[in-house]
């Protein structure tokens, strides 16, 4: 028997295809053979290791050694011959196919990246990830040619983020202001950026001219605060003398986080860090006051934000209603919806950073006289296409809806808040629900819940009244937010039995590193207008979130919509906010609190985390009281630290599931010019192969079952429970998942409440009612097929759902125990078709008579009538009871 240990170190290096030499790794041979074995239905790590040893012996016998390294091709040839000699012809064939596929992918990657070679990142990243990077993130020259590799892109971002660390070095920085520096000296360098392109470096990392620009601007900002101990010339002298070389390790740490796909900042940061635009934030909110000059100022500011790569949220409720008198012109107001069209047009013509069209959130609060027109504005295709729209809700509307017997609710003038007319809150919620059922919009934003634990209201002079385009980031006017997401699917480790467990220690370390990363972004950002620069630095708001939740649960074999799933997700959320806030306190000790901290409710011991107040002490995992004491003593660096944002393209780059969403489909079919193929979730695919279930027939069956394994007899029951999709999960469970995250997240959650095509508008309304009761800050409902254009949908010819979706017992138990309002109970019970315990239910609403049912139908098309603008109208055919004669 050959003693492999004697020859293990005989070959030290291997020659790469591009001529470089790297360390020889036997494990790579073993892994390649193992993949060929799996492809043939033989999952045998031991055999793969044994065959890799034989390959090593053959290489040594052929004369390769430490002084004469084999090439990659030599190694692959030896693998093929070894498999054939061992009588494993089928495995050899699979390996040859694997080898050819690797070559094809390698060539396709080089084509996508417009390069003759691949760096280590390009080799590691999936082809689809690289396509996204090439199309949106990698820098190009004025001819449109890619000028950087993926690895260089991540270094470009990391270097910029590292500049903030350098400027906080104790040799140049002091927390207490007091030193006056000549900022004009630094400003003069802005006129000669080209002269300093790649002139300074930190360790091996060179600063390009845009890095240098951010260094100048960040220095000026700190110097104006009296926190710079040295002049700008002295700083440059120290930089030239490699006095900050130790920060190269911090830059590498940031780069490694991104390269490992453990964390990614929001898209503008990756697009613009160390580049011409330099604008790094994703979210902005602008004011919209009832003054033409200020309206035009906000429109101009929006254009600059779109140009720089950001999206905008605006609350239009302060604009007077349509038809109201305008004293200055003796004319009549055109109403807020008409002014939304101005921003819509601006968005159309100004692409974000020259790479994508801008996004908007348009909000009108429920009390505004034009609320019905606003709600139905997007029920027709082609209207306000660059907007997400949401209705803002406060306590008064909610009280009229759930507590008032007659549902009376007063619409008020935006100018004096005088009563204009009275409507029925039930009719209004029906209109919102039917519009959302029809078009997916509007959403609801619960401003009462957003401001319930808002520690910033006192410092800002009032409540928050707007959010960013996707609704997860509540902001005051001119604030921005820098978002980033941790890929939770990577934070696992294998146990002795081969199964995964979550790596809590590494998760904590990542939270701390990425909190610092996002705080640094605030300082090196090039903001599009001065008001945003000031407001962003006054609050230093960051939004650390997550992605890959569904993939993580797949790996851990935990069903998303189970009690174990909810409890685990809640623990993830609590850890995210606890450690990010604790790290924010550590940053405050070293760098100072955010400027308005002393004017907030933090010194009073309050925090913006609902779970602290709403969960009993024995229901928490961490010592929040100790953290609050630290905040009271040292302050905190960031007013809020956590947000769960949508991570569409970031998830593609990280090769994981989107945000905290369940997987949309386990398998879906892609049709291309040369044929068709099935895209399969990688974790699910590996499990199918491991159990000998992977074949085109089963993939087609799953794809035609709305991408779900539910109800497919060939799939074991345990797999059906674990590998759930968005369409497997009842809308009430979608709400519950959002609720358990929201309990511990400082800002809000970007989550789509998926509903099947056959739900009614009553389901949508019940979802709104349950969402508010669960403490959600906003809700977006999406009924499959309700939009003419949706990103993901089932298009196969043989699609047929083989399963029924019902709410989990966890949700129904929660409703039975915790929903106490009689109106809420009745409406939710009706929609869910569940019976609550008699002791806690109210008298059900009497059934409608046939005559009453007929009165609710449109006399023209027999669809449901809704009460809008004081009249019964049909949003299907346009019938109006006020104009019918």
Active site residues: 468, 470, 472
Cα(445)–Cα(466) distance, rounded to whole angstroms? 9
Token code pair at residue 607: 């925090």
3-state secondary structure 1-67: CCCHHHHCCCCCEEECCCCCEEECCHHHHHHHHHHHHHHCCCCCHHHHHHHHHHHHHHHHHCCCCCC
CA 810, CA 561: separation in Å to the nearest integer? 8
Q: Report CA-CA distances (Å) from 566 to 571, 614, 615, 709, 834.
A: 9, 16, 15, 21, 21
Burial 418-442 (b: 16+ CB within 10 A, else e): eebeebbbbbbbbbbbbbbbbbbbb
Nearest-angstrom CA–CA distance, 657 and 261: 12
Determine the distance from the C-alpha atom of residue 859 to the mean position of all C-alpha atoms in its chain, rounded to a whole number: 45
DSSP 689-745: HHTT--SHHHHHHHHTTTT--TT-TTS-HHHHHHS-BTTTS-HHHHHHHHHHHHTT-
The rounded distance, in Å, linking the Cα atoms of 340 and 319 is 11
Structure tokens at 491: 């934070």
For residue 701, count other CB atoms closer than 10 A to its CB. Answer: 18
Which tokens in the block code for residue 220? 């000026």
Question: Does residue 606 come out as left (phi exceeding 0), alpha (psi in the -120 to 50 range) or beta?
Answer: beta
Burial class (CB in 10 A: 0-12, 13-18, 19+), 758: exposed
Nearest C-alpha neighbor of 128 from the set 659, 654, 696: 654
Task: Quote the tokens at residue 244.
Answer: 């900050």
Phi, psi at residue 261, to the nearest 5°? 60, 30
Give the span between the Cα atoms of 301 and 195, in whole angstroms: 32
The CA-atom distances, in angstroms, between 211 and each of 83, 255, 483, 626 are 52, 15, 20, 39
Which of 122, 483, 477 shows the shortest CA–CA distance to 268?
A: 483
User: Please, is 748 exposed, middle or buried when counting C-beta atoms within 10 Å of its C-beta (0-12, 13-18, 19+)?
Assistant: buried
CB atoms within 10 A of CB 560: 30
In whole angstroms, how far apart are CA 503 and each of 262, 319, 496, 657, 658? Answer: 13, 51, 15, 18, 20
Q: What is the 3-state secondary structure (H, E, C) of 482-548?
A: EEEEEEHHHCEEECCCCCEEECHHHHHHHHHHHHHHHHHHHHHCCCCCHHHHHHHHHHCCEEEEEEC
Structure tokens at 747: 């800002």
Residues 131 and 263: their CA atoms lie apart, in Å, by 19
Count of other CB atoms within 10 angstroms of residue 696: 10
Q: Token pair for residue 857? A: 């139908």
Label the pairing between strands 866-868 and 871-873.
Answer: antiparallel
* Joined tokens for residue 343: 């921003």
């Amino acid at each position: 028997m050959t003693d492999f240990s004697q020859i293990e170190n005989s070959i030290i290096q291997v020659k790469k295809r591009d001529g470089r030499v790297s360390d020889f790794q036997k494990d790579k041979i073993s892994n390649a053979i193992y993949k060929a074995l799996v492809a043939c239905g033989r999952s045998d790590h031991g055999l793969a290791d044994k065959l890799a040893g034989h390959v090593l012996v053959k290489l040594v016998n052929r004369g390769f050694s430490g002084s004469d390294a084999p090439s990659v091709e030599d190694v692959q040839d030896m693998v093929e011959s070894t498999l054939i000699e061992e009588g494993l012809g089928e495995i050899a064939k699979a390996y040859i196919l694997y080898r050819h596929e690797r070559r094809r992918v390698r060539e396709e990657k080089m084509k996508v990246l417009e390069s003759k070679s691949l760096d280590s990142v390009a080799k590691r990243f999936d082809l689809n990830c690289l396509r996204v990077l090439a199309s949106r993130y990698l820098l190009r020259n004025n001819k449109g040619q890619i000028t950087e590799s993926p690895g260089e892109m991540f270094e470009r971002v990391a270097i910029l983020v590292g500049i903030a660390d350098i400027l906080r070095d104790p040799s140049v920085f002091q927390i207490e202001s007091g030193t006056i520096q000549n900022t004009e000296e630094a400003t003069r360098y802005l006129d000669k950026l080209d002269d300093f392109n790649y002139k300074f470096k930190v360790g091996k990392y060179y600063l390009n001219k845009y890095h240098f620009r951010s260094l100048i601007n960040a220095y000026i900002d700190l110097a104006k605060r009296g926190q710079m101990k040295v002049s700008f010339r002295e700083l440059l002298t120290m930089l030239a003398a490699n006095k900050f070389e130790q920060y190269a390790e911090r830059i590498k740490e940031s780069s490694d986080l991104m390269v490992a796909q453990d964390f990614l900042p929001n898209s503008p940061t990756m697009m613009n860090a160390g580049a011409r635009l330099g604008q790094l934030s994703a979210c902005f909110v602008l004011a919209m006051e009832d003054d033409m000059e200020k309206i035009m100022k906000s429109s101009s500011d929006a254009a600059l934000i779109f140009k720089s790569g950001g999206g905008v949220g605006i609350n239009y409720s302060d604009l007077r209603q349509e038809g109201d008198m305008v004293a200055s012109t003796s004319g009549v107001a055109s109403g807020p919806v008409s002014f939304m069209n101005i921003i819509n047009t601006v968005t159309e013509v100004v692409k974000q950073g020259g790479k994508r069209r801008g996004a908007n959130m348009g909000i009108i609060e429920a009390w505004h006289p034009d609320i019905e027109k606003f709600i139905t504005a997007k029920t027709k295709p082609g209207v306000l296409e660059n907007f997400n729209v949401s209705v803002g809700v406060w306590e008064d509307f909610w009280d009229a809806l759930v507590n008032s017997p007659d549902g009376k609710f007063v619409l008020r003038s935006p100018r004096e808040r005088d009563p204009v007319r009275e409507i029925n809150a039930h009719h209004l919620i029906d209109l919102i629900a039917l519009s959302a059922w029809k078009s997916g919009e509007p959403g609801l934003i619960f401003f009462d819940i957003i401001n319930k634990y808002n520690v910033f209201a006192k410092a800002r002079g009032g409540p928050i009244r707007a959010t960013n385009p996707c609704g997860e980031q509540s902001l005051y006017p001119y604030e921005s937010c820098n978002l980033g997401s941790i890929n939770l699917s990577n934070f696992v480790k294998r146990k002795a039995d081969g199964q995964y467990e979550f790596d809590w220690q590494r998760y904590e370390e990542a939270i701390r590193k990425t909190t610092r990363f996002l705080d640094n972004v605030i300082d090196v950002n090039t903001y599009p207008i001065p008001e945003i620069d000031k407001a962003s630095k006054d609050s230093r708001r960051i939004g650390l979130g997550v992605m890959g939740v569904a993939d993580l649960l797949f790996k851990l074999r935990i069903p998303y919509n189970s009690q174990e799933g909810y409890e685990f997700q809640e623990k993830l959320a609590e850890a995210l906010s606890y450690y990010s806030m604790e790290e924010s306190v550590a940053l405050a000790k070293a760098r100072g609190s955010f400027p308005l901290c002393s004017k907030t409710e933090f010194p009073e011991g309050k925090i913006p985390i609902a779970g602290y107040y709403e969960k009993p002490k024995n229901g928490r995992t961490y010592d929040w009281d100790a953290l609050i004491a630290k905040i009271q003593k040292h302050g905190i660096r960031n007013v809020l630290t956590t947000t769960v944002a949508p991570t569409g393209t970031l998830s593609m780059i990280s090769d994981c599931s989107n945000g905290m969403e369940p997987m949309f489909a386990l398998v879906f079919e892609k049709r291309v010019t040369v044929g068709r193929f099935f895209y399969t979730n990688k974790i699910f695919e590996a499990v199918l192969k491991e159990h000998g279930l992977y074949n085109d027939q089963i993939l087609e069956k799953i794809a035609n079952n709305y991408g779900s394994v539910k109800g497919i007899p060939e799939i074991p029951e345990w797999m059906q429970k674990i590998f759930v999709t968005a369409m497997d999960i009842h809308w009430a469970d979608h709400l519950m998942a959002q609720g358990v995250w929201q309990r511990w997240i400082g800002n809000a959650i970007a989550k789509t409440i998926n509903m099947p095509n056959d739900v009614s508008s009553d389901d949508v309304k019940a979802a709104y009612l349950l969402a508010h009761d669960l403490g959600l800050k906003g809700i977006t409902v999406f009924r499959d097929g309700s939009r003419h254009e949706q990103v993901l949908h089932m298009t196969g010819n043989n699609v047929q759902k083989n399963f029924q979706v019902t709410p989990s017992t966890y949700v129904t138990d929660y409703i039975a125990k915790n929903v106490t309002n009689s109106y809420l109970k009745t409406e939710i019970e009706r929609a869910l078709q569940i019976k609550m315990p008699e002791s806690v239910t109210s008298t059900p609403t009497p059934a409608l008579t046939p005559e009453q049912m007929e009165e609710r139908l449109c006399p023209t098309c027999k669809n449901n009538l809704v009460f809008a603008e004081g009249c019964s109208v049909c949003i299907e055919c346009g019938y109006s009871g006020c104009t019918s004669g």
